[in-house]
Amino acid sequence: MLFRVKEMNKLFYLDKLNDKQKKAVETLNGPVLVLAGAGTGKTRVLTTRLAHLLNKKLAKPWEILAVTFTNKAANEMKERVQSLLKIDIERMWIGTFHSSGLKILRRHAELCFLKRDFTVIDTDDQERLIKQILESNKIDVKKYTPSNVLWMVQWFKDKAILPEESKKYKFKFGKTLNISKLYIQYQERLKILNAADFGDLLLLPVKIFRENLEILKKYQNQFKYILVDEYQDTDICQDTFLKLLSQKHKNICCVGDDDQAIYSWRGADVKNILNFPNAFKDVKIIRLEQNYRSTDHILAAASKLIENNKDRLGKKLWTNALNGEKLKLYFFEDGKDEAKNISLEIEKLKLKKTKLDEIAILVRASFQTRLFEDRLLKIGIPYRVIGGFRFYERLEIRDAIAYFRIVHKNNDDLALERIFNTPKRGLGAATLQIVFKFARDANMTLLDASRKIIETDELTPSSRNTIKKFIEDIDRWKNKINKINHIELAKIILEESGYTKMWLNDKSIEAPGRLENLKELISALRDFSNMNEFLEHISLVMENERNYKLDMVNIMTMHSAKGLEFENVFLAGWDEGLFPHQKSLEEKGNKALEEERRLAYVGITRGKNNVYISFAKRRFIHGTWNFSQPSRFLSELPKENIDTNEDFFEEEESFIVEQNEYEKRIKNPNRLLFKNKENLLKNRDSYESEYKFKIGDEIFHEKYGYGTIKYITDGKYEIVFDKLSETKIVLENFIKHA
């Protein structure tokens, strides 16, 4: 079909644009950077600009390259352009970075020693291939897991580093692991298999362009205009791809928001957008600052907060939607109190006929969702977890619960089957099938069948010994049920089974979060008098999850919330150390602090009408009570845009971090003080008054010896014992005064 667009006498699609949006659409020649703040109509500008190029006949459809990060965004762009111009868009280069790279790679596969019908392998196949390579090099796959090695290989590819260039880079992963050698072998193996992985879909086109100037010139000539969405999220390889293609015409328009650059952990490099004005001559920067989403108070608060970042190009959001509600800042006694009161606010909103879909709870870390999930379940408000699994659906939680079930129930075959070889015990699929068949044929539970089969010759001696040891572990744990409390037993099971160690040794990006979730699971056990009561609760939770309703409260991390918007947003857990995250600050310093602040900015700007921010004076995290300090970000919010339930800060104390002093402040974040510190201590004393012992009392325990009481809560004592490296939680009747 021939390309024909009848030029409109009236450019009707420009009518609904504000002046800055119109300028971004009509500035067509040369490099353009559109700094599009949250809710400023970025997508409309991008698609209208594309339509305008076609309507003005400055380029044919195939002479424009438009790249996005998701298929959803690409399809939306295609649909909008088609609806505006009523043209055939089949030949248009609109798609994700990787789909565009794949199209180029298919055409020139032979230059990378591939055939055009090469296979694009998924993560499972990648890990399987790397495992084979590790084994061929006699490398311990338990110490250096395939997923860890794959992460390092992908790091090279995100940085546009070819295998032969990787030799000069050193990883701190271990002296015995030559990652460059493994990377080279991995790529050679892919060639033999006529395969490419996801990272290759951009790395190999970049390689082709660098090594074949004629091919590069062909695409440079073809793409007269390049449009880029979410430019702040690009990695080095993606940025290199764009810059190579744009060198001739230099008509590249990048749309993004440096204040929303929050994905460095996924390889994104904020320097790409910050350095864009230096990468091209005569760059035109257009700022979209009129927001169509949020109220004036929300925007004022977000703008004031983000002004504390130094590495930014700068803009200030504003709106015509004046006289909105101020942000509400709540201070709660603890995490449970926070979850309870937020759920009460949600119930109030529900009574006002607010749709649950228009309510979101945003947290910094995924383990924080548990308290909210439990509370909403208790009061019967349906919810969904966006961007991840519900707490009790997560892999590590299901595994841990399976361990608890098999210790407390003899006939739970499903639980035992799940953990039989988790963590890896050297029991292959063939061995497991023999055991499972033996159980079915003998009409026995899997545990009883395992006891019987080790007395036969059906398995190898090694397998029999492994299963025997596993059964002995289960029996030992069972014998402890009535001797120690269920919380301590849960810790012992996860430790002695090797499950916790498995995740400690796992260097993947998900591992720290999984460990946090396991610690939160242990915290959840404190709400129940015994394990059976907890397991019954889990059964009810799972049953509730089957009763799916369309209208639900949304729970997610702030990272998952980017690009979304809600009428009512609850930002929970703004405690120093939790947000900004202490570990991030320790590892990456000021760079991490600025990204954490950008994350706070993203969280606030998700709200359309109401934003609630909360802090808990104490929080039970990973089995320990922590008396919290409010996040430094709270003091960076303008007081005139905030309503609060407590005059909490000392007026003379400022916690705005000077960039050159961040290291001192990270190590000692207690500059943010309680104005009502005395009252807080009084409240803490009231907690103690109903108990026989007080915080600071020296006590004696028959098993653990002498110790000092650290915290008291819910009738339980957290004690630092002289001979132990960790605290223990015990009941009152097991201790006496020293």
Residue numbers annotated as active site: 42-43, 229-230, 260, 606
Q: Angle 338-343-349 (CA atoms, 0-180°, nearest 5)?
A: 130
Q: What is the pairing mode between strands 566-571 and 618-621?
A: unpaired
The two three-digit tokens of residue 432, written as one number:
């497991």
CA dist 70 and 76 (Å) reads 10
DSSP sequence for 333-355: SSHHHHHHHHHHHHHHHHHTT--
Instruction: State whether residue 120 is helix, strand or coil.
Output: strand
Phi first, then psi, for residue 652 (nearest 5°) are -80, -15
Q: Which residues contact 572 (CB under 8 A, 6 or more apart)?
A: 338, 339, 342, 361, 362, 363, 368, 372, 614
Q: Is 248 exposed, middle or buried (0-12, 13-18, 19+ CB in 10 A)?
A: middle
Among candidate residues 472, 429, 433, the one with its CA nearest the CA of residue 451: 472
638 upstream amide cis, omega within 30 of 0: no
Strands (E), 305-388: 327-332, 359-363, 383-385
* Segment (H or E) for 613: strand 607-616
Q: What span, in angstroms and rounded, lies between the C-alpha atoms of 562 and 599?
A: 9
Among 574, 713, 563, 546, CA closest to 630 = 574
Place of tokens 């020649």: 29
Q: Between the CA atoms of 343, 347, 348 and 354, what dihedral angle is there, to the nearest 10 degrees?
A: 120
For residue 416, give the amino acid letter. Answer: L
Question: Which residue, among 452, 485, 474, 501, has the nearest Cα to 403 in the 3D structure?
Answer: 474
